[in-house]
Structure formats: C-alpha cells, structure tokens
Structure 1
Amino acid sequence: MEIQYLGTAAAEGWPALFCGCEICKRARAAGGKELRTRTQSMVDGKILIDFPPDTYTHAINYSLQLGQIEHLLVTHSHMDHFFPVELIHRHEHFGHNAKGMLYVYGNEAVEKAFYDAVLIDRFKVHPLDDAVRFVRLKPFGDFTVDGYHIIPVPADHDVRETCFIYIIEKDGKCLLYAHDTGMNLSEEAWDCIFGRKYNLISLDATMGRKQIDGYHMGLPDDIAFAKLLEEHGCIHKDTVKVINHFSHNGEMTHAQLEEFAKENGMIAAYDGMKVLF
C-alpha cells in the first residue's frame, strides 16, 4: 500500500491565514517543507481521506485526476476536513468524463453539511444524483470497497458529532489513520484498534511538544499511543510510524519535528510526502 500526504496542517494552515507569529513568519521566509496546507491524504491513488478547502491546490500541485476517484472517507464535519460545496463541480456541467460515482462516507454531521452545501437553490439545476452519493457510517460499521476493508472507529474529538479515525486493510496490509483525535478513546474503540496488526500508523501531532487532555494529540501522546500499540502486539519493528496534522501553535519547525521523529523511530510528514508500506 501507499499513502500520500497531500496536506499536513491543522485548520488554520501553516503559515496560518491571518497570523503574524514568529513561527509563521519563519515559515513564509523559509518556504519548502515549512509550508503546509490543510490535512488530506490518499491511499493507493484510490481512496481519498478528507476534503479540505485546499483540495483544488492539492490536485494542481500533485497532478491528481480527482475525477477518477470513487471513494472519499471523511473523518468529521469541521471545515478543514470537509468543504463540501466543491463537490458540486463533479457534476457533468462543471467536470467532464468523471469516472462513475463518487461515494462520500461519513457521519450524520458530515451528511448534513453535504446536503446543506449541494442542495441550495443555485445548484438545483445541477443535481448530483448521478455524480456524488453520500453513505452514512456508523461506529465500527465496517465495509469493503474496491478490495479495501474499512472500519470507522469513534475518535476523541468534537463531542457534538461522532468523529472517526479509520482502519484500512488490503492484501494483508493494515493502516491506522488517527487524526483529529486525542487518547481518551472508548474501551470499545481501543479494543477494535488493538485487534489489528499495523504496517503503518499515522498519528495526530497538532500540539507539538505540548500535551492537552484529549481532542488532539501532541508528541508526548504520540509516543504513548505507539507504546500502547507495541504493548498489545499491534506494531512491530517494520511498522512505519508517521506524525501528521501540525499546528503553528505547536511552535516547531519541520526540522525540529524531523529531529523528534528520528529520535523516536517516526517520520514527520510534509506536504506531498509518499510512504510505501
């Protein structure tokens, strides 16, 4: 399997849109890996994870043919992970020769955001019935698409909705995609996570060296999360451990994140990074 990190920032981007802090000034001056768009990933060029406002930029930057993507997993309804108004452009009037149907998978809040965006009066002349279809997911309600076995696991994030992290399996390989979550997961969620052996784990690192009690994770949490998985036999010496989803409020440059990652047997993600596992 392969995962590509199209964007690696938290909601405000990096440098943040309206920010003049020192870390954002440094990112603007340095460019390169210090510049981060909102988090989005793609598995094997087939499964898109999240749909932020920067999706168009990702398509341009990495020569993506998004009209050929048929499956979009959404973690939750926050704007930096789901910007549904762009989906109207999959209608034949705006985008020609798209492949089949785009299935969008998510919770009830994502479903509401989807219909609120695409059913407004100005778009009624371009119904998406033949282009985009929403599929509501339930916690632990596993399903299979194109040979990928997918399990939505309830995250520790916004209590107003059932946010998901995802387990994705195919051909004996297994990925844990755990972003926009803290470690205060339910016992059932941990049991589900502990029931797999992972070839790659992708962990939320929003807070940098800081640590908060849930909602997101920082680097101390990532170490603890990986240790838990190791203690339960879920990861091995060849498991790839990636930290991702960074905020400027974490106050770490990419070089500092790379240094931390190297010291702890991890990889610090950057926009465009591909990992085979």
Structure 2
Amino acid sequence: MRYTQYKSGNQYVLFNQNVLNAFCDSIFETCPEHVTHICSDAQGRGTVVFFEHEDRELVLKRYHRGGLIGRFVNCTYLFSGLKKVRMWQEFQLLAHMRDLGLPVPRPIAARCIKTSPLTYQGDVVVERICGAQTLAEILCKDALSEKTWEAIGLVIRRFHQHHVDHADLNACNIMLTASGQIYLIDFDKSHIRPGKDQGWRQGNLKRLRRSLQKWQQQQAGFHFESRHWKALERGYQGAKTQPMRSSQAAEALSR
C-alpha cells in the first residue's frame, strides 16, 4: 500500500495514495448531509462517525481517553515524536497488515494536530466494512455454528502467526459479513511483537473470552456457550476448518 505524509500549519497528515489521488482536509470535517450514522465506541471513548466521501463509505474515529484520566483530560496526549502518536501507529499497522493479506479495514487517512509543543490530538479514517456486524451484535440475536467459531479462531491464529498483538480483542472488535468474511478492527495501541515472545497470545484469547462472558452475564439470551469457545480453540490450534457458507452467514446476520 502506498501512502504519503504532509504538513499544513500545526497538522500532520498521512493518506492512502491507492484510494485518494490528492488529499482533501474536509475528509476529517464531515458535513452533516454526508453522515450516515454516529455511535459511541465500545469503550465509551468518544464517538465513531460513519459517512460518505467520493462514493466511499468511511469511518472517522477521534481518539479520546478512557478510564479515570479521561475524566480530566478528554482527547489530548503527550507528544513525544510523530512516529509515536497513536493515530500514526494505527494507520501504519493497518497498512502493514493489509500488505500481509490480513482481514482488517483499509486505512484512508490519519491526522495529528499539535495543540502545543508537548501535546497533540488526532483522528483516523478507515474504509467501512459494509454489510458487517460485530460478533456481539450477532450473538445478541442468534447462535453461530461451531464451524463459524472455528473460523474465528483460525482468523485470530493468522494474526498471531504474523506477531500482531491486538491490544483490545473483544466481542465488539470482531466483525462478520453476510458473505462469511471475518475481520478484526480497532488496533489502537496494538503492535507487532518480537518473535520469541509468545505469552501475549494467550492474553489476547483470555481477553476475548472475558468479553464474551461479560456479555453473557449482562445480556439475556446472549448465545455463547462453553462448546463455542472450545470450537474457537480448535480453529486457533489449527484444526481443519471449512469456511462458513455464505448462506449460513447471511441467515445469522439477517436476524
């Protein structure tokens, strides 16, 4: 993937040259008539805006702090070099994973705004995965087959084979399309791990399982059972898994 960087005033911008012939700053200032949907993200750290730009469906994410510190400092971060800002790292990691053939959203642009010599704010734009729902949304409505759970495990294994440590692997950051494709999203604070370090892999899986169990406790009729997790582990461990048929996925997503 080809991308380039430029500076305008106190703003630094990365954009995907395979998608945008010339960058337009307005992509970060979405007009109301172009917005199709607005929602709070899974961690409650601000909002995610779905909008249209040049006949493409895109997603704008503004970086907001969560947790205790987020009560006092909303969206400002300490600047310690452009390569270390969160939107730069997420954009470049997405680009790297796309080049590896991993199922992630296509990065479109990232912006870092210097608010002072020591602080910054920023946002990132990615291409929307059309016709997809999160794993959590689907399981609130219906159960998935064990073959589908195996396929999810196999997808996670692919990322781990490329040493991708997802910092927040949860039921809202796995998406399934009606055609049977499985994507991972939201790679803020994620990174490539050294080859010899493997303990983080089980950490990813444990985090996902805790997320599913939390949904199960809070949402009546949430379709998650121990056999589903065992199926995911089979897929992760390399069991021969047949891809989910499009008809199976479409049926689950339509309910």
Give the TM bin, normalised by the shorter chain: under 0.3
TM-score, length-scaled by structure 2: 0.26
| Larger proportion of helix | 2
